[in-house]
Amino acid sequence: MLVCGHYGCDMKSRGVEIVKPQTNADRIRAMTDEELASYLTGVWYGFEETPGMCDVCDNHTVQKCSECWLDWLKQEATE
């Protein structure tokens, strides 16, 4: 398959499937709850390697805090 991401490309008219490149937002939307929880833990703590206490629940080390994010992700959304 040939891929063209240029705006206005006429390759589709020649029978070539045009695939839009995946954005970071697309990649995040495609994550499972568990993958997103792990990602959010890394973002929240700056991908630290040193264990520290979780700022959210004060019960887990940073490595286990993805459990807190997973619980939050599964809660009903509020406005």
Query: What does the pLDDT read at residue 14?
Result: 64
Q: Could you tell me if 33 and 69 are in contact, meaning their C-beta atoms sit under 8 angstroms apart? A: no
Task: Return the pLDDT at 28.
Answer: 92
Q: Are 28 and 36 in contact (CB under 8 A)?
A: yes
Alpha helices in the chain (DSSP H): 24-29, 33-45, 66-73
Q: Where are the domains of the chain?
A: 1-30, 32-79
pTM of the model: 0.56
pLDDT at 40: 85
Q: pLDDT (tens digit, 0 to 9) for every residue of the chain, 79 residues total?
A: 455 556 566 665 666 666 778 898 999 999 999 999 888 887 776 655 555 666 667 666 665 678 888 888 999 988 7
**31 token code pair:** 């994550």
Backbone angles phi, psi at 33, to 5 degrees: -60, -40
Contact between residue 44 and residue 30 where contact means Cβ atoms under 8 Å apart? no
